[in-house]
């Protein structure tokens, strides 16, 4: 009998009876000594409740691990530098179907579950869409009972907190671990060494091996991810960097050299200190590359460990079996180092030859692209790569060499294309490794995230590779989890949907929403729908008042744009539209104003700390708001509000309360967008361009229920050329809006550089690269159609219902099912 067999399974503290739950919450308040046992304010109540819920999670999580271990299915490992998890309590009790029991239990202490859940800090280990997608995917993987795990980094400080000061956006470190996270389980038994720097040693028999340099440890923290109404709970394994006692130089410390004594400890701390360290400096770039390697190396060592562990009882156990047990998905190019790291581990540690290691690697890894913006395609200096990861650089060079040889020997016709397709760009001025090219060359599958984007990948960015590997490229249109993004964040609307569909099965089979179409004209449904929307609008208005001090009218049209601030997303067009609207309102007679549809324009989003124009846009929205909202002539008809510190939990309040949402990127530039799906699901109508997933949303909800405007993706290049040739004639309305800002109507801040970016025919920071001027007139016209449509309440509510009804396709369950079948080759493994 092994020692482990002697450990008796403990009686489970996980109960579904409110009295027992209340007892368990009290237990955690007293015996999990984070606070004084006498304190039981809302914050203490949150931690004790979360720990009690964790007891439920742990049981499922253990059962799931053991079941996967016994069954030994092929398993997917999702590698992502980002997860935007947001809060976990409401989601956990909802997925475990114990919301009512916990609400009742908390009432015994005089607390509302919703208020206690509001105590939780967002886990913001991501920047935006890419990170939130990873979190939605985990929810769907667990719900579909798929054998799958997420791997990421445990950043000490996640995405910064945004404060709006006089000068505009300020960034403050977001201390999500301020007290502690009740959801993570530190795994002292899961530790791997990670090497940096050093050199390559060659043994007499020619074998190459990486040695020297500095070695840190990766320590695992597991976050259980419960599926919805299933016994399965999977793992999000987040790595933290640590140094050991041996790395602490006691001699130096006793000699008073405190900093050098703990040098390795401080380097370890830097690795997971922040999400996306600024990479303007060389140090910043090196740190970001260290982070990427840290994630890849720790995860692959862990994956190989598990493969061997599970293989132990099997008769055969050849490395060629690895791809039938392991699928690795790289979320964008950030985890590309998984490729050379897997090659290194297979060759240098496990003793495989190149060809064998390459075949295994190729069949194991796949890559998702999330952007076609050239400046966002990762390239690493060869010198930095060689210094930090000398053995990996050798492997990358060999991959590059073999790829070139393959093209030359098999595709004479492609010879002229080789330089741009290569992994290495050996431009003597700046030799770099092109990470996307490495992913395409090494991976078995490459996918885009919406139809339009995948087509652009195939026809433009990766066109040359398509002619070599026509079957490598796929589309997987993004999705969102309907649990967090409707069921839990919008309980009023959810209840109505369940009532009219006569089933709550839509939460795991979102296509059922089409069943609402036949009630789209039903007056009773309209009344209920409108009441639910109004309740959500009131909740939103309260949030706005709390965080900005601005009172907004729940009877006005709530128009929202929330996303990272970027010139291609064109928040500037939105605010120019609002400025134009304001100016027209000012010019109108009081009688005419009364005929106008009152609007509240809300914009939220964070600007990257060093992205100057994005920060100017934030400032402009705030400045416009300050003038408009205090202008007694018009503020009954227009308010402009900047929502500070946009994050997942703020989105959960804004999206249900929104009626019109803006997805107005220059066509061809937004790979997919996912908040567009969330809005539409919550009965919000979209004004947007034919970009990313907008195209598919419009198809699903019907073109009458979508306000379309703007240039199409295939026109953009021609329009830019025309402009360079001086053929662009700006619309007077566009000129008027810009001129109004230049006149100082919104204060003394110098908006010249921002507005100048929209002028001229070409040039750095000029030439209106994102075509705001070209699209502005059709945008204003589309907004006028919105105003008219909103006056007809019946029509508007019907559009709203049809948006929800047409959202079934955009469940991340559908997306993940397609990944599982068409890329990973894995199937469900439900805990019995
Ligand atoms: O990924 C986003 C795209 O812009 C969206 O269109 C898409 O819907 C979403 C999910 O597929 N990309 C994104 O969020 N990128 C990043 O956050 C990012 C982070 C770090 C970095 C580059 C991009 N170095």
Residue-wise pLDDT for 127-163, tens only, equals 999 999 999 999 999 999 999 999 999 999 999 999 9
* pLDDT over 70 at 313, yes or no: no
- Looking at the CA of residue 368, tell me the nearest atom of ligand 1: 11
**Res. 415 pLDDT band, cuts 50 70 90:** very high
- Looking at the CA of residue 378, tell me the nearest atom of ligand 1: 24
Greater pLDDT, 472 or 5: 472
Q: Which helix (H) or strand (E) holds 156?
A: none
* pLDDT over 70 at 180, yes or no: yes
pLDDT at 317: 57
Burial 91-102 (b: 16+ CB within 10 A, else e): bbbbbbebbebb
Q: What φ, ψ does residue 195 adopt, rounded to 5°?
A: -100, 145
| 135 alpha carbon – ligand 1 mean position (Å) | 13
Structure tokens belonging to residue 225: 């991810």
* pLDDT over 70 at 312, yes or no: no
Residue in 82, 129, 285 to alter for ligand 1 test, most ligand atoms within 8 A of Cβ: 129
**What is the reported pTM?**
0.97
By annotation, the residues acting in catalysis are 370, 563-564, 569, 674, 678
**Res. 314 pLDDT band, cuts 50 70 90:** low
- Mean pLDDT of the 628-654 span: 98
- Looking at the CA of residue 132, tell me the nearest atom of ligand 1: 10
634 within 8 A of 745, measured Cβ to Cβ: no
Q: Which helix (H) or strand (E) holds 151?
A: strand 148-153
662 burial (CB, 10 Å; 0-12 / 13-18 / 19+) is buried
Question: Can you tell me which residue has the tokens 């239990």?
Answer: 105
- Mean pLDDT of the 352-368 span: 98
Q: Distances in Å between the alpha carbon of 267 and those of 27, 214, 220, 274, 556?
A: 39, 10, 18, 13, 53
Distance CA 157, CA 816 (A): 29
What contacts 595, CB < 8 A, 6 or more positions away? none
User: With a 6 A CB cut-off, is 754 part of the ligand 1 pocket?
Assistant: no
- Mean pLDDT of the 309-322 span: 76
Residue in 125, 130, 666 to alter for ligand 1 test, most ligand atoms within 8 A of Cβ: 130
- A 10 A CB-CB count for 451 gives 16
User: With a 6 A CB cut-off, is 598 part of the ligand 1 pocket?
Assistant: no
Among protein residues, the one with the nearest Cα to ligand 1's atom 1 is 130
Burial 334-369 (b: 16+ CB within 10 A, else e): bbbbbbbbbbbbbbbeeebeeebbbbbbbbbbbbbb
**Res. 16 pLDDT band, cuts 50 70 90:** confident
| 611 alpha carbon – ligand 1 mean position (Å) | 16
**Cα angle vertex 622, ends 619, 624, to 5°?**
105
| 627 alpha carbon – ligand 1 mean position (Å) | 33
644 within 8 A of 604, measured Cβ to Cβ: yes
User: With a 6 A CB cut-off, is 128 part of the ligand 1 pocket?
Assistant: yes
Q: What φ, ψ does residue 230 adopt, rounded to 5°?
A: -145, 160
Distance CA 49, CA 106 (A): 8
User: With a 6 A CB cut-off, is 757 part of the ligand 1 pocket?
Assistant: no
What contacts 201, CB < 8 A, 6 or more positions away? 208, 209, 210, 211
* pLDDT over 70 at 197, yes or no: yes
**Res. 7 pLDDT band, cuts 50 70 90:** low
Question: Can you tell me which residue has the tokens 């309102």?
Answer: 585
Tell how strand 75-79 and strand 326-331 pair up. parallel
User: With a 6 A CB cut-off, is 820 part of the ligand 1 pocket?
Assistant: no
- Mean pLDDT of the 264-283 span: 92
User: With a 6 A CB cut-off, is 289 part of the ligand 1 pocket?
Assistant: no
**Res. 1 pLDDT band, cuts 50 70 90:** very low
The DSSP symbol for 595 reads: T
User: With a 6 A CB cut-off, is 617 part of the ligand 1 pocket?
Assistant: no
- Looking at the CA of residue 133, tell me the nearest atom of ligand 1: 10
Give the dihedral of Cα atoms 25, 28, 34, 40; nearest 10 deg.
30
Residue in 371, 446, 450, 456 to alter for ligand 1 test, most ligand atoms within 8 A of Cβ: 371
Distance CA 210, CA 762 (A): 49
Distance CA 155, CA 608 (A): 17
- Looking at the CA of residue 334, tell me the nearest atom of ligand 1: 24
Quick: pLDDT tens for 749-775.
999 999 999 999 999 899 999 999 999
Closest among 394, 388, 429, 408 to 214, alpha carbons compared: 388
- A 10 A CB-CB count for 703 gives 9
Structure tokens belonging to residue 251: 């001699």
pLDDT at 2: 47
Quick: pLDDT tens for 666-685.
999 999 999 999 999 999 99
| 371 alpha carbon – ligand 1 mean position (Å) | 7
If DSSP codes are grouped into helix, strand and coil, which group holds residue 190? strand
Burial 541-568 (b: 16+ CB within 10 A, else e): beebeebbebebbbebbbbbbbbbbbbb
Closest among 389, 379, 337 to 197, alpha carbons compared: 389
What contacts 480, CB < 8 A, 6 or more positions away? 136, 674, 677, 678, 681, 810, 811, 812
Rg (C-alpha) for the chain, rounded Å, is 28
User: With a 6 A CB cut-off, is 133 part of the ligand 1 pocket?
Assistant: yes
190 burial (CB, 10 Å; 0-12 / 13-18 / 19+) is middle
| 663 alpha carbon – ligand 1 mean position (Å) | 15
Mean pLDDT of the chain: 96
705 within 8 A of 803, measured Cβ to Cβ: yes
User: With a 6 A CB cut-off, is 645 part of the ligand 1 pocket?
Assistant: no
Quick: pLDDT tens for 473-518.
999 999 999 999 999 999 999 999 999 999 999 999 999 999 999 9
User: With a 6 A CB cut-off, is 435 part of the ligand 1 pocket?
Assistant: no
Closest among 437, 478, 465, 448 to 370, alpha carbons compared: 448
- Mean pLDDT of the 227-237 span: 98
Quick: pLDDT tens for 46-82.
999 999 999 999 999 999 999 999 999 999 999 999 9
- A 10 A CB-CB count for 36 gives 9
656 within 8 A of 554, measured Cβ to Cβ: no
| 578 alpha carbon – ligand 1 mean position (Å) | 27
The DSSP symbol for 462 reads: T
Give the dihedral of Cα atoms 395, 396, 397, 403; nearest 10 deg.
110
| 89 alpha carbon – ligand 1 mean position (Å) | 26
- Mean pLDDT of the 530-546 span: 98
DSSP, residue by residue, 614-644:
HHHHHHHHHHHHHHHTT-TTTTTTEEEEEES
User: With a 6 A CB cut-off, is 670 part of the ligand 1 pocket?
Assistant: yes
User: With a 6 A CB cut-off, is 562 part of the ligand 1 pocket?
Assistant: no
User: With a 6 A CB cut-off, is 336 part of the ligand 1 pocket?
Assistant: no
Q: Distances in Å between the alpha carbon of 217 and those of 163, 249, 298?
A: 35, 17, 9
- Mean pLDDT of the 597-601 span: 98
If DSSP codes are grouped into helix, strand and coil, which group holds residue 195? strand
Closest among 664, 679, 665 to 540, alpha carbons compared: 679
Rounded (to 5) percent helix, strand, coil in the chain: 50, 15, 35
Distance CA 489, CA 649 (A): 9
**Res. 188 pLDDT band, cuts 50 70 90:** very high
466 within 8 A of 458, measured Cβ to Cβ: yes
Domains annotated on the chain, with CATH: 1-71+97-119 (no CATH), 72-87+122-477+818-824 (3.40.50.2000), 536-810 (3.40.50.2000)
- Looking at the CA of residue 674, tell me the nearest atom of ligand 1: 8
Structure tokens belonging to residue 494: 């959810």
163 beta partners: 170
| 288 alpha carbon – ligand 1 mean position (Å) | 17
């Amino acid at each position: 009998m092994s020692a482990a067999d002697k450990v008796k399974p403990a009686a489970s503290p996980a109960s579904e009876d409110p009295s027992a739950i209340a007892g368990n919450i009290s237990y955690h308040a007293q015996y999990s000594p984070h606070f004084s046992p006498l304190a039981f304010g809302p914050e203490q109540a949150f931690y004790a409740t979360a720990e009690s819920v964790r007891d439920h999670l742990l049981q499922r999580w253990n059962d799931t691990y053991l079941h996967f271990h016994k069954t030994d299915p092929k398993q997917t490992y999702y590698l992502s530098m980002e997860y935007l998890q947001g809060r976990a309590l409401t989601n956990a009790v909802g997925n475990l179907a114990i919301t009512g029991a916990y609400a009742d239990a908390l009432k015994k202490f005089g607390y509302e579950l919703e208020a206690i859940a509001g105590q939780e800090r967002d886990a913001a280990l991501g920047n935006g869409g890419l990170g939130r997608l990873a979190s939605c995917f985990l929810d769907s993987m667990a719900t579909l009972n798929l054998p799958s795990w997420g791997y990421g980094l445990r950043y000490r400080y996640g995405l910064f907190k945004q404060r709006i000061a006089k000068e505009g956006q300020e960034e403050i470190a977001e201390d999500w671990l301020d007290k502690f996270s009740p959801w993570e389980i530190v795994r002292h038994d899961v530790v791997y060494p990670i090497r940096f720097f050093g050199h390559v040693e060659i043994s007499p028999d020619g074998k190459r091996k990486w040695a020297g340099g500095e070695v840190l440890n990766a320590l695992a923290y597991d976050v259980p991810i419960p599926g919805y109404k299933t016994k399965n709970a999977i793992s999000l394994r987040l790595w933290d960097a640590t140094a050991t006692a041996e790395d602490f130089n006691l001699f130096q410390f006793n000699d008073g050299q405190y900093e050098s004594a703990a040098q390795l400890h401080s380097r370890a701390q830097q690795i997971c200190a922040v999400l996306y360290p600024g990479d303007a400096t060389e140090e910043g770039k090196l740190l970001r590359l260290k982070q990427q390697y840290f994630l890849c190396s720790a995860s692959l060592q862990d994956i190989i460990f598990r493969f061997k562990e599970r293989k132990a009882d099997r008769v055969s156990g050849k490395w060629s079996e690895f791809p039938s047990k392991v699928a690795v998905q790289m979320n964008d190019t950030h985890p590309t180092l998984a490729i050379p790291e897997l090659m290194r581990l297979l060759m240098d540690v496990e003793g495989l030859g190149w060809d064998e290691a390459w075949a295994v690697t190729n069949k194991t890894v796949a890559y998702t692209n999330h952007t076609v913006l050239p400046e966002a395609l990762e390239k690493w200096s060869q010198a930095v790569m060689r210094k930090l990861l000398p053995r990996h650089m050798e492997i990358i060079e060999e991959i590059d060499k073999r790829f070139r040889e393959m093209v030359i020997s098999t595709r004479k016709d492609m010879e002229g294309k080789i330089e741009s397709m290569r992994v290495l760009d050996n431009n003597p001025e700046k030799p770099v490794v092109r990470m996307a090219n490495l992913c395409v060359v090494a991976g078995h599958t490459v996918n885009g995230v919406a139809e339009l984007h995948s087509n652009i990948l195939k026809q433009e960015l990766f066109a040359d590779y398509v002619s070599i590997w026509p079957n490598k490229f796929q589309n997987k249109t993004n999705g969102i989890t309907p649990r967090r993004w409707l069921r839990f964040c919008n309980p009023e609307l959810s209840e109505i949907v369940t009532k009219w569909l006569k089933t709550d099965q839509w939460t795991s089979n979102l296509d059922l929403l089409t069943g609402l179409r036949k009630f789209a004209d039903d007056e009773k449904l309209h009344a209920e729908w409108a009441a639910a929307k109004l309740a959500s609008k009131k909740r939103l208005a309260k949030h706005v008042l709390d965080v900005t001090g601005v009172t907004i009218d729940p009877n006005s049209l709530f128009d929202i744009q929330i996303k990272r601030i970027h010139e291609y997303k064109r928040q500037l067009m939105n605010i120019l539209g609002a400025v134009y609207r304001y100016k027209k309102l000012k010019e109108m007679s009081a009688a005419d104003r009364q005929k106008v549809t009152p609007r509240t324009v809300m914009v939220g989003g964070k600007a990257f700390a060093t992205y100057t124009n994005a920060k100017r846009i934030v400032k402009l929205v705030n400045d416009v708001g300050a003038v408009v909202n205090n202008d007694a002539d018009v503020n009954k008809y227009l308010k402009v509000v900047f929502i500070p510190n946009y994050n997942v939990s703020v989105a959960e309040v804004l999206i249900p309360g929104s009626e019109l949402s803006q997805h107005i990127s220059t066509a061809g530039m937004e790979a997919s967008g996912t908040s567009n799906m969330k809005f539409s699901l919550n009965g919000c109508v979209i004004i947007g361009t034919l970009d990313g997933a907008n195209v598919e949303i419009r198809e699903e909800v019907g073109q009458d229920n979508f306000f379309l405007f703007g240039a199409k993706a295939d026109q953009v290049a021609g329009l830019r050329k025309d402009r360079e040739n001086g053929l662009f004639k700006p619309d007077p309305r566009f000129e008027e809006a810009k001129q109004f800002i230049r006149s100082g109507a919104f204060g003394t801040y110098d908006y010249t550089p921002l507005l100048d970016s929209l002028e001229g025919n070409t040039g750095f920071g000029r030439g209106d690269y994102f075509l705001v001027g070209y699209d502005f007139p059709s945008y204003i016209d589309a907004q006028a159609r919105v105003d008219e449509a909103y006056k007809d309440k019946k029509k508007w509510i019907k559009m709203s219902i049809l948006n929800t009804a047409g959202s079934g396709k955009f469940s991340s369950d559908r997306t993940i099912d397609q990944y599982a079948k068409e890329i990973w080759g894995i199937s469900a493994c439900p805990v019995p």
